[in-house]
Amino acid sequence: MTLTRILAAVDGSVHTAKVSKVAAEAAQRYGARLFLLHVVAPVSSRRVRDELENLAHMEHLERTEYEMLQDSGRPVVRSAEASAREKGIADVEGLVEVGDPASVIMMEIRARRADLVVLGRRGLGTLTGLLLGSVSHKVIQLATIPCLIVP
């Protein structure tokens, strides 16, 4: 199998370091481009939305909720990018999107024409008793490319 584009979903959980490491090793082995994707779930609480809006007004910023949520996810991606670069991966791109994680991952798989998606077995969800996280489960059900699940 030849891989040219690998998409790794990183969520900031304890599994992120493992996912980043495995994805970087695969990218290095195949000389593939590595995309590190962090998906921020949209804010559903009106109170939180109001607080974001107040922050923007206090800071005299013309920023949308989407931009503020994207900014909140950038540290996760920067950390994963730095880790990949330390392992010698030069062709790495960090992405931060807002939306339903499984849907956004599927959209980015298509947009980036990924050959492989690397996901953590579990993420930030609270139901630790499940064998496979709901995002990972949805992606492996929908993906038409190989999925590598990192324990």
pLDDT (tens digit per residue) in 56-96: 555 555 567 778 788 889 999 999 999 999 999 999 999 99
E strand residue ranges, the chain: 5-9, 33-40, 92-98, 116-120, 147-150
Cβ neighbors of 58 (< 8 A, separation 6 or more) are none
Please tell me the pTM assigned to this model.
Answer: 0.82
User: Is the torsion defined by CA of 135, 137, 107, 46 positive or negative?
Assistant: negative
Q: In whole angstroms, how far apart are CA 9 and each of 39, 59, 85?
A: 8, 32, 17
Tokens of 58: 């206090």
What pLDDT score was predicted for residue 46? 61
124 or 9, greater pLDDT: 9
pLDDT of residue 15: 81
The correct CATH number of 5-42+73-150 out of 3.20.20.240, 3.40.50.450, 3.40.50.620, 1.10.3720.10 is 3.40.50.620
Q: Can you give the pLDDT at residue 128?
A: 46
pLDDT at residue 31 tops 80 = yes
